[in-house]
């Protein structure tokens, strides 16, 4: 008896492709399809392309598809990476085994030899041989070991910077290097001028230092403030705090020449983004980046509460809330602490230690009867009483009793509240389903909710009605109000109403916003057929 003879070929699942066919016909078509796949890449997979009405328009044989932007699509095949046209046909082959990063307009690819860069139009600008590539619009900085190169798309050139200790691109596009402990700006008008320090920040100007002091350099690499200032610190935007020859300086950067916006021989302190000026040792002024924000006698304490927001305390125990345009809450002697608020309602702590709300005049509009309060949001505020949280309206009436461990205010009168590790969706009337506690609820930007219970996910409407039952391991919102939902290792497509548009039978589903097309990756499994050879009969004597 001969051993079994094996034949290997590959089958491919495509939805509704082999319905109502005989086994013999199925195997015949599978063999034909297998030969087709061998021709186009034996291990390619089918991507089904649908229009917005879910009409099947095309099938693609790619291992994977990446939608990087409205205009940039990449396919991964057995032959390598390819840029795709809008109709998903191959256009430009890309060197590399995978897409490492996409930073428009640059596609960084990675191979066994290193990282390379393509422009999104398909132009190869850096071969995949580098250890690292940094991107800034039309400028690329590449490193291999400790040697650096710069590619300038405007000039179409790649320039070697040599062997360096370090190099980077600043936040405004200046290339900063360090060699033998000194800093340089190699692409600037002063490429050979060495600095002891070059410091980047979120403004338009670099802070530099040499043996004479600190200065500023603009985006073109030109010095706009000679490095002679004893001390210079970036504060915010294009503003700097300095000290030089017994006077304090507030300096603003300028493309041509930096300007001193304020100077004083009195002490100005700068700590934790708070600048204060003292006259003869007494606190006198609250400063902003370019000058005086508040000049007042009798201040004893200033605390920064947030972006351009300060609480100011005076000797007579009055406390006020100061904003960038003046007083948000006039100083008053009836409060111990104050926080930022909204629409002329501010959380405040009274002299008895409890919290309530005051208006801009410092008058109590909701009495201080709470252990803690939070700012109003969508017409309601979170309060704490007896260690539990609830909600009140703008006249102080309880809309949700303080019985919750956590609570979140939503728009439209809805809220989420947690108790005993269960999360509940509470309607505008304060009602909720006591049996419908969830492990987690996440609100989406369109107002719907993804709810989790017993490790399964479902989708609720903004009114708390089920759109998709608790069946899924993952639900991912796509563009155009589509949802991709996963059960185990298969995904399907659902509409915004929860209707199943493509069965939960695919490996992946993508939505191409620019073409309004849906791409579904069919699962692909090898089919191994084992064909038994018939047993060879023994011949009888005489035959």
Give 334-348 pLDDT, tens digit per residue. 999 999 998 899 999
Average pLDDT value for the chain = 89
| Same structural domain, 322 and 349 | yes
Number of independent structural domains in the chain = 3
> What is the predicted pLDDT for the residue at 523?
83
| Same structural domain, 363 and 396 | no
Q: In what order do the strands lie in the sheet with 213-217?
A: 197-199, 206-210, 213-217, 223-229
| Same structural domain, 16 and 36 | yes
Asked whether residue 530 is assigned to any structural domain, the reply reads yes
Of 200, 168, 169, 195, the closest CA to residue 184 belongs to 195
Q: Please say which residue of 407, 437, 467 terminates a domain.
A: 437
Least confident of 104-113, 402-411, 515-524: 515-524
How many CA atoms lie less than 13 Å away from 103 in the CB half-sphere? Answer: 14
Does 533 score more than 50 pLDDT? yes
- Stretch 137-144: mean pLDDT: 97
**Dihedral angle at the C-alpha atoms of 152, 156, 162, 163, nearest 10 degrees?**
60
**Dihedral angle at the C-alpha atoms of 14, 17, 20, 26, nearest 10 degrees?**
-80
| Same structural domain, 365 and 384 | no
Q: How far apart are CA 313 and CA 321, in angstroms?
A: 9
pTM of the model: 0.83
- Stretch 358-366: mean pLDDT: 97
Asked whether residue 99 is assigned to any structural domain, the reply reads no
Does 525 score more than 60 pLDDT? no
Q: How far apart are CA 516 and CA 262, in angstroms?
A: 56
- The alpha carbon dihedral of 11, 16, 22, 23 has a sign of positive
Asked whether residue 211 is assigned to any structural domain, the reply reads no
| DSSP symbol at 345 | B
Of 433, 416, 422, 366, the closest CA to residue 393 belongs to 366
Q: Please say which residue of 406, 437, 468 terminates a domain.
A: 437
Q: How far apart are CA 74 and CA 356, in angstroms?
A: 57
Does 535 score more than 90 pLDDT? no
How many CA atoms lie less than 13 Å away from 440 in the CB half-sphere? Answer: 7
CA distances from 303 to 245, 285, 336, 341 (A): 29, 13, 13, 16
Of 144, 176, 149, 151, the closest CA to residue 162 belongs to 149
| Same structural domain, 388 and 365 | no
Long-range contacts of 151-158 (CB under 8 A, 24+ apart): 151/117, 151/125, 151/126, 153/119, 153/125, 158/125, 158/126
Q: How confident is the model at residue 7 (pLDDT cuts 50, 70, 90)?
A: very low
How many CA atoms lie less than 13 Å away from 29 in the CB half-sphere? Answer: 13
| Same structural domain, 384 and 426 | yes
Asked whether residue 35 is assigned to any structural domain, the reply reads yes
Bridge pairing between strands 422-426 and 73-77: unpaired
Q: How confident is the model at residue 263 (pLDDT cuts 50, 70, 90)?
A: very high
Model pLDDT for residues 82-140, shown as the tens digit of each residue: 999 999 999 999 999 999 999 999 999 999 999 999 999 999 999 999 999 999 999 99
> What is the predicted pLDDT for the residue at 32?
36
Asked whether residue 272 is assigned to any structural domain, the reply reads no
Q: How far apart are CA 542 and CA 164, in angstroms?
A: 93
Residue 408, phi then psi, degrees to nearest 5: -130, 130
Asked whether residue 387 is assigned to any structural domain, the reply reads yes
Q: How far apart are CA 195 and CA 187, in angstroms?
A: 15
Angle, alpha carbons 316-321-327 (nearest 5°): 100
The helix (run of H) or strand (run of E) holding residue 296 is none
Q: Do the beta carbons of residue 311 and residue 337 sit within 8 Å? A: yes
Residue 323 sits in a domain whose CATH number is: 2.40.10
Q: How confident is the model at residue 4 (pLDDT cuts 50, 70, 90)?
A: very low
Model pLDDT for residues 282-318, shown as the tens digit of each residue: 999 999 999 999 999 999 999 999 988 999 999 999 9
> What is the predicted pLDDT for the residue at 436?
84
Residue 31, phi then psi, degrees to nearest 5: -65, -40
Query: 391-408 burial by CB neighbour count: b if 16+ within 10 A, else e?
Result: bbeeeeeebbebebeebb
Using a pLDDT cut of 90, give the percent of the chain over it.
83
Does 29 score more than 50 pLDDT? no
Query: 44-77 burial by CB neighbour count: b if 16+ within 10 A, else e?
Result: bbbbbbbeeeeeeeeebbbbbbbbbeeebbbbbb
> What is the predicted pLDDT for the residue at 342?
87
Asked whether residue 210 is assigned to any structural domain, the reply reads no
Does 149 score more than 60 pLDDT? yes
**Parent domain of 2:** 1-44+524-543
Model pLDDT for residues 38-55, shown as the tens digit of each residue: 333 345 689 999 999 999
Asked whether residue 186 is assigned to any structural domain, the reply reads no
């Amino acid at each position: 008896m001969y051993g079994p003879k094996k034949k290997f070929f590959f089958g491919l699942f495509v939805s509704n492709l082999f319905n109502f066919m005989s086994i013999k016909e199925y195997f015949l078509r599978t063999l034909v399809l297998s030969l087709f796949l061998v021709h186009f890449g034996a291990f390619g997979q089918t991507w089904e392309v649908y229009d917005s009405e879910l009409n099947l328009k095309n099938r693609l044989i790619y291992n994977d598809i990446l939608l990087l932007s409205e205009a940039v699509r990449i396919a991964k095949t057995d032959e390598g990476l390819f840029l795709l046209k809008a109709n998903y046909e191959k256009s430009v082959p890309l060197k590399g085994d995978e897409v490492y990063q996409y930073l428009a307009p640059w596609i960084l690819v990675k191979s066994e030899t290193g990282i390379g860069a393509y422009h999104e139009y398909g132009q190869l600008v850096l071969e995949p041989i580098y250890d690292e590539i940094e991107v800034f619009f039309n400028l690329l900085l590449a490193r291999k070991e400790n040697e650096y190169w710069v590619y300038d798309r405007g000039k179409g050139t790649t320039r070697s910077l040599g062997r360096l200790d370090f190099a980077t691109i600043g936040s405004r596009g200046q290339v900063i290097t360090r060699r033998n402990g000194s800093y340089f700006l190699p692409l600037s008008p002063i490429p050979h001028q060495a600095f002891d320090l070059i410091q980047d920040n979120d403004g338009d100007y670099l802070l530099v230092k040499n043996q004479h002091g600190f200065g500023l350099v603009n985006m073109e690499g030109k010095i706009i403030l000679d490095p002679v200032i004893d001390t210079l610190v970036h504060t915010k935007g294009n503003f700097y705090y300095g000290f030089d020859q017994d006077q304090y300086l507030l300096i603003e950067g300028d493309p041509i020449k930096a300007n001193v916006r304020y100077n004083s021989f009195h002490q100005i302190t700068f700590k934790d983004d708070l600048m204060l000026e003292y006259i003869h040792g007494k606190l006198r002024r609250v400063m902003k980046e370019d000058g005086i924000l508040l000049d007042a006698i009798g201040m004893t304490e200033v605390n920064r509460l947030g972006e351009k927001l300060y609480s100011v305390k005076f000797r007579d125990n009055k406390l006020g809330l100061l904003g960038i345009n003046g007083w948000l809450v006039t100083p008053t002697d009836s409060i111990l602490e104050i926080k930022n608020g909204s629409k002329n309602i501010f959380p405040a702590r009274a002299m008895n230690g409890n919290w309530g709300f005051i208006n801009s005049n410092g008058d109590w509009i909701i009495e201080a009867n709470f252990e803690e309060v939070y700012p109003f949001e969508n017409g309601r505020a979170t309060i704490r009483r007896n260690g539990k949280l609830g909600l009140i309206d703008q006249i102080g009436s309880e809309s949700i009793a303080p019985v919750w461990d956590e609570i979140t205010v939503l728009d439209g009168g809805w809220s989420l509240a947690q108790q005993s590790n269960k999360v509940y969706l509470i309607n505008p009337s304060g009602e909720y389903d006591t049996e419908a506690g969830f492990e987690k609820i996440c609100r989406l930007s369109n107002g719907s909710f993804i709810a989790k219970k017993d490790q399964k996910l479902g989708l609720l409407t903004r009114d708390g009605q089920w759109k998709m039952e608790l069946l899924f391991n993952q639900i991912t919102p796509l563009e155009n109000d589509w949802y991709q939902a996963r059960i185990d290792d298969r995904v399907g497509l659902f509409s915004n109403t929860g209707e199943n548009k493509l069965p939960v039978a695919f490996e992946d589903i993508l939505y191409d916003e620019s073409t309004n097309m849906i791409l579904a990756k069919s699962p692909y499994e090898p089919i191994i057929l084992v064909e038994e050879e018939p047993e060879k009969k023994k011949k009888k004597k005489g035959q």
